[in-house]
Every structure is written in C-alpha cells, then in structure tokens.
Amino acid sequence: MDKVFLAFVSCCMLAAATMPVQAFTAKSLTITLAPDGDATLDMHYELSFIEESAVFLKMADPAEELKNAFDTHSSSPVTVPSATDTTARVLIPGFADLTRSGSNIMMTTPSLSFARAQDVVNSYWFAPLVSPDFSPGITTVIFPDGHRDTYYDVLTVPSVSHPLKP
C-alpha cells in the first residue's frame, strides 16, 4: 500500500512540475489623462510565486519592464515612480495627442497593446513554467473632463478620441 501511495504522490508531483502555472495576471489598468496629454497609468496585477521569486532575487524588475514597454509611446522619457509586486504607476509624457479647432480640443490616445509583453516573458528562464494573462480584467481611460471609456479583458486597448469640454 505504501508503494502505491508513493507512486501516486510522485505522479502528482511530476504532473504539477510539468504543467504551466498561472503567471502574471493583469487585474486592472487605469489611464488618467492630464489636460496637456500626459498620462498616469495605474496597473494592478498578480505575480506567480516564480515571478515573485525572480523579482526578489533581482532577476526581473517590473518597473524596468513597464518603463521599456511604454517608452515607445512617448518622445520624452517614461518614468515609473512606484512598482511593487501587485501595483505599478507609470508616467508617460505626451501620451495623448491634442488637436485644436477654434475653441474645440480633441484628445486622442494611441492604441496600447500588451502583446509584446509575451515576448519579454519568453526571454526569461521560467517562461516554460508560466502562463501569463496580460489583458487587464478592466481598463479605464479617464479624460481631463471626467469622461470615461471602459474595456473588459482586451489585450489591445484601442485608440480613443474624445472632444474635451471647454
């Protein structure tokens, strides 16, 4: 009986070791736009034990990865004033374009894709062990006049245009 139990436990451990585990999971993303087009991105996420270990051992840096991911959306340097194992704040200068026509101002955000994030994860040693979900459960774009656009479980946030109220 002990040999059967030991064989069962061994099979369970082997299966657990070879099956991918849930990895980075994007919970929410809030993009708050300033009147000048600058953006503050607040992201809430969960990390797997393996990813938390990689961060703890300084093998991965969420702040640096986020900075690199968003640098392409600004001609000015992107900053990450805070990043923890569950949240990050990213400041992106000039994120949205402003188009003026008389007294009217149209604010347009670029599309924002997290598809490239998979490439970053694939470069890590633990990539075969994890199954990340980069599409935030809820994404909210907040314009300076309070208008909000909300998206659910999208890997690419579309470009959004909104006329700002004078």
Distance between CA atoms of 133 and 153, rounded to whole angstroms? 9
Distance between CA atoms of 122 and 139, rounded to whole angstroms? 24
Domain ranges of the chain: 23-164
How does pLDDT run along the chain (166 residues), one tens digit per residue?
444 333 333 333 333 444 344 556 778 999 999 999 999 999 887 765 555 555 444 545 555 656 566 656 556 788 888 877 778 898 999 999 999 998 899 999 999 887 776 677 667 666 666 677 778 899 999 999 999 999 999 988 999 999 997 6
The model scores a pTM over 0.75: no
Three-state secondary structure of 83-120 = ECCCEEEEEECCCCEEEEECCEEEEECCCEECHHHHHH
